[in-house]
Structure formats: C-alpha cells, structure tokens
Structure 1
Amino acid sequence: MDFERARFNMIEQQIRPWDVLDQDVLDLLGAVKREDFVPPAYRSLAFTDMEIPLACGEIMLSPKLEARMLQELAVRKHEWVLEIGTGSGYVAALLGHRAAHVLSLEIHPELAESAQQKLRHAGVTNATVRCLDASKELPAGEFDAIMLSGSVAQIPDALLAKLKPGGRMCAIVGDAPMMRAQLLTRTSAQESTAVDLFDTMAPRLHGFPDTPRFRF
C-alpha cells in the first residue's frame, strides 16, 4: 500500500473539506504516521473516513474529527495539555508536537501501555500516558488546554476546574443521535463560556455517565 499517497488523499479529500484549513495542522497530519498507531489488522484502513476498532471495545475517532478538534483547541508551544481517553495514542502524538507537555489519561491498562510504546517509537518524548479513570480521579495541577477524545453527556465541574484561567477545553457533548463539539474557555475561577463548533457523534468516554432518562 502507498501510505504517503493515502495520507495525502486523507488530508485533501476528507480533512481540508471539513474546514480544517490551519496549515500547521495539515502539515502535522502529513508528518505524524497515523498507520503506526492503528492496530495491525486495520493498518490498511488507517486513512479511511471511519472509526477504527481498538482493544477493550474502544475506537479511534475518524481522521477528520481528530483534525478538526486539534485545530479548534489551538494548542501553543508553551502550553501543558491534558487529554482524556488516550486510545491509540495518535491524538496524544499530535498534541505533543504542538505543546510543551501532554498528560494523557487512559482507563484501560492494555491501551495505556500500548499507546506509551507507540509514542516512544514515534519519538514523541513530551507525552506521558497514565492509567487512570478520569471520571473518578484527576491529576494534580491545572492545564492550559484539555482535549476529550470521546463524548460526555455534560462537562463535569471537576474537569472544568482543571483549566487555568483563560484555558480551553475541546469536547463532544450531548446524547445520540445529536451531539455537539464545543470549545469551552475558563474565564474566571467560577465561570466559563462555551461555543458550539459543529454537530457530530462520538462514543461515550468510558466511566462518564449518560444523561439520566425519565421513566413514567
């Protein structure tokens, strides 16, 4: 398979038409080898417009969704970033190329270990994977940016509190069949703003609750 041709087609036919126009992001997608983060059985599908199965019942998001969220979060070189849901480690690798440091939390030990190995192999030395259930426990400190690599019914207050004042969070919020990607900005110790970006769908982050259903 011609991976370079497939990567070029992914960028030009899927990602750029989905309003990912930041040239730095597009260049990064051309440089980080997505196929090295995909399970071997699905390597030939690394650049297709689909979710790719991972171990433990998890998935990689589609390339265009990963790219759009990366663009919207707009991480800068001096920033410290928290990712919830490491999965394959690919998004952590992308973030690592744009940030000072990335801490990525993964609930499944098997995925956490695999992702850390893949990040090492890719030469990404500023991204650390920690096996932790982020729905129950969060690391110490505050972050400039937070990426949720999966959906939540609503943003937990505890997660918002991990943003520094002025910090941003990119998340997919809501319930099927309609979710929205949002960019949240912490404006003060007690307040934040949210901007709706686009409609999409993504699997629920493991451990985070669904919206309670009314029963009659």
Structure 2
Amino acid sequence: MGNTIFPWEAATADAALECWNRLITRAANEPLNVRDTGELYRGAHWLRARSIASRWPGIELWAMSAGLGLRHHADPAVTYEATFHAMQFAPGKVWDLLTSRPPLAGRCASLAELMHRCPDDRFVIAGSPVYISAAERDVLAGVPALREANSQLVIVTSQGYRGPLQPYLKRSSADMMTALKSNMTCLNIACAGALIEGLMRAGRI
C-alpha cells in the first residue's frame, strides 16, 4: 500500500481530497502499481460480485470506491487504503468530490452521468448503508434520466439506511443468509445476485 493512505489528518474534506489526488497520481505514475479495478479487490463480497457478473452476458460490474470514486471493473486502479466506514469527513461530501474531480480517469465519473448515458439500462446497486448514503445525491441526480426509474433501479442495502432512496430499496436481512448461501459480509451482494438472476431469467435485462 505504501503511502497511498487517505489523509485522515486533513482539516477539511476539500483539503483531504486535494492531497489524496496527489497521492493517487503519484502512485499511478509507477506502471507496476496500476492494474484493472476488477483485479484490485480481493474481499469475499467483491469475488462474489465478479462471479455474478461473469455468469450473465451483458452485465457490467462497477465499484463504488471510497478512494477512487466510481470505477468500471476494467478501469485502471492503484492499491490504496480508504473506507467510508472509518472516515472523519461526511461520506457524501467525499463522494461528491471523488465524482466531480476523480483521482484517476475512468469510463464514467459518477452514477448520475452513467444513468444519463444509459437511460434504458437497469441498475442494481448493492452496498452498506454508509456507502448508499454517500452516493445518495449522485443517484438522485441520475434518477430523472431513467425512462422508468421505479422498474429500472434497485438498491440493495441493510436495515440501517434511512433516506430519500427508500422507494428503490430492497432490504437485506440476516434471515436471508441460508437461502442465499451467504454470510453477513456478502449478503447485500448475494441479494443483488438473486435479483439479477430473476431479471435475467425473465428476460428483463
């Protein structure tokens, strides 16, 4: 990981992101540090997400990163240490900065931009309440671009989320673990996978 650690000690989120962008740029200038986003993450939840995406043609996998913003699985990435679960700044503010001034160039800077580019696509977003809250304004900015948002957008998260995205929520809960063959770490992804499977089998994606 080297020195690519989010600058928690910065006085403001803006100052932190200015420093952070310099750190990421410096890391990306070393070719051996750069890899595809899909190869960067090794956690069980990401491996499960990759498995779901590989099962169905036409599914595109994106990551909501507290360090790099919105990343397509084939976008370039560098190893870093940052998470919304341990951040002194408001996650929504940090996400706004990451998507307005991405540390690395990628296929699409924000969820709103992606929805405006792909107004007929279906979007299944899975994440913990803190990550969904972080991206809340971004998602809401994209919703009007969708042809039929109520059927095109599903957000999978646990019971802790409270906010304006609730009309689009599918809430995961511990009693789903056995049926989905999942632990709590992977539950939101597993739930999203079951939804995608249902949509694919019904020919709705």
TM range (shorter): 0.3 to 0.5
Q: Which has the higher helix share?
A: 2
TM-score w.r.t. length of structure 2: 0.34
TM-score w.r.t. length of structure 1: 0.33
Higher relative contact order (CA 8 A, sep 6+): 2
